[in-house]
């Protein structure tokens, strides 16, 4: 009798699982991939896309093409419900899918609960939506400059022409810093439309950027931000987002014609209606074997997975490493099932063991990069070349 594995979401973990299972297929296994998107981005290359160093195709995996090459049934739809007792997944297109095993790799959803954020911010995730809005805003800026050599008063949230146009990135972690440097590089080098006059500013909730990174690396990045005229506003805890400004909890006011939201993430709202155990932020709680504690047939990986005892940062390096564990445990459960064992058993399952220390690389916009491992910091154009080579090697698996 055939078994059915459903993979919900085309994240880093799932695309690698599909490749692995296609190289060593499981007998009588049907695999279905469910995603509302035809293309899934490799997040590590997003700063290079914004800077202009990569094309859209360079950083995206074609899920339809991947499904064909791995003999996977692809359904382009969004998951909206789950009955883990009946082992049924419900889709936005009206379909319901039964499964023996199911895995979620749907990433994180931006938390736009700050008043005004959902109306006046552009969230960085999902990446496809962010990139589309960024290119639209960029095109609008160019059009305005061509029309009158200065921004119109009624464009881009009615910015006062006597004031410089400010572009804000809220969030001072690695993603926010990389995005600020990438946008600055893109705007600075677009001299034909005078976009280099636009201010880029980074909004930091605390008193330091890049929390958790070595002091030397942070010092280098701070110098880089200063050289690129990117102002950092520390201890600015956004309490209200207006069409043309940000208001902090302590009353500080910051002009912002465009605001990009690069902080605070949560799980998808529909997960709250399932019987799965969720974290405080709505992520799916998993055991070390990537299974949910109450339903061993349900797995989660990538950003949507939450380890209660030892939560991990939301980083792609962890998602990539999870692929081996998830592939092994799927194979173990289905093999046990085919031999007459109960799929609830943990026989032969292996725990996910996250990297204790790994090479962390941050793009600096101008084809230079900075990185750290074991407390040591490296920087320069050769670090960008290293990062570029690593990223392209990952993407070449899907070309």
Coil, strand or helix at 121? strand
- What pLDDT score was predicted for residue 345? 46
> How does strand 369-373 pair with strand 376-380?
antiparallel
DSSP annotation string for 242-259: ETTEEEETTS-EEE-SEE
Q: Smallest Cα–Cα separation from 131: which of 26, 238, 52?
A: 52
Peptide bond into 126 cis (omega under 30): yes
Q: What is the pLDDT of residues 78-128, one digit of tens each?
A: 999 999 999 999 999 999 999 999 999 999 988 999 999 999 999 998 898
Sequence-ordered list of residues with C-beta below 8 angstroms from that of 80, at least 6 positions apart, any chain = 90, 91, 92, 270
Q: Listing from the earlier edge strand, what are the strands of the sheet with 238-242? A: 238-242, 245-248, 253-255
Domains contained in the chain, CATH given: 3-108+267-354 (3.50.50.60), 117-261 (3.50.50.60)
> How does strand 199-203 pair with strand 231-233?
parallel
Q: Which residues of the chain have pLDDT under 70?
A: 144-163, 191-194, 337-347
- What pLDDT score was predicted for residue 226? 97
Structure pTM?
0.90
DSSP annotation string for 218-280: HHHHHHHHHHTT-EEETT--EEEEETTEEEETTS-EEE-SEEEE-S-EE--GGGGGSSS-B-T
- What pLDDT score was predicted for residue 346? 46
List 61's β-bridge partners, or say none: 40
Q: What is the pLDDT of residues 15-57, one digit of tens each?
A: 999 999 999 999 999 999 999 999 999 999 999 999 999 999 9
């Amino acid at each position: 009798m055939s078994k059915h594995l459903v993979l919900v979401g085309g994240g880093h973990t799932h695309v690698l699982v599909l490749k692995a299972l296609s190289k060593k297929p499981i007998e009588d296994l049907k695999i279905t991939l469910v995603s509302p998107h035809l293309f899934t981005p490799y997040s590590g290359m997003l700063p290079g896309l914004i800077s202009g160093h990569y094309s859209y195709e360079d950083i995206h995996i074609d899920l339809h093409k991947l499904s064909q090459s791995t003999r996977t049934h692809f359904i382009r739809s969004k998951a909206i419900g789950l009955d883990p007792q009946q082992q049924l997944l419900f889709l936005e297109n009206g379909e319901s899918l039964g499964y023996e095993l199911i895995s979620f790799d749907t990433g994180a959803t931006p938390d736009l609960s700050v008043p005004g954020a959902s109306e006046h911010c552009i969230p960085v995730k999902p990446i496809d939506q962010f990139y589309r809005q960024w290119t639209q805003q960029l095109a609008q800026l160019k059009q305005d400059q061509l029309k009158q050599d200065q921004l119109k008063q009624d464009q881009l949230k009615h910015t006062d022409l006597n004031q410089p146009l400010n572009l804000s990135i809220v969030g001072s972690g690695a993603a926010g810093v990389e995005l600020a440097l990438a946008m600055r590089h893109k705007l600075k080098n677009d001299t034909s439309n005078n976009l280099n006059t636009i201010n880029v500013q980074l909004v930091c909730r605390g008193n330091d950027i890049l929390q958790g990174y070595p002091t030397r690396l942070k010092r280098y990045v701070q110098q880089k931000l200063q050289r690129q005229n990117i102002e950092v506003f520390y201890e600015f805890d956004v309490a209200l987002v207006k069409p043309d400004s940000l208001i902090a909890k302590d009353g500080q006011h910051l002009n912002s014609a465009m605001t990009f939201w690069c902080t605070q993430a949560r799980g998808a709202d529909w997960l709250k209606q399932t019987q799965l155990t969720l974290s405080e932020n709505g992520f799916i709680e998993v055991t070390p074997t990537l299974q949910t504690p109450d339903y061993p047939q349900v797995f989660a990986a990538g950003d949507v997975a939450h380890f209660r005892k030892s939560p991990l940062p939301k980083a792609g390096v962890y998602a990539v490493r999870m692929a081996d564990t998830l592939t092994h445990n799927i194979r173990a459960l289905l093999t046990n099932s085919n031999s007459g064992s109960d799929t609830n058993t943990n026989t032969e399952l292996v725990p996910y063991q996250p990297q204790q220390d790994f090479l962390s690389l941050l793009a600096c916009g101008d084809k230079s990069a900075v990185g750290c491992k074991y407390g040591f910091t490296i920087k320069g154009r050769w670090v960008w070349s290293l990062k570029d080579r690593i990223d392209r090697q990952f993407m070449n698996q899907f070309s």
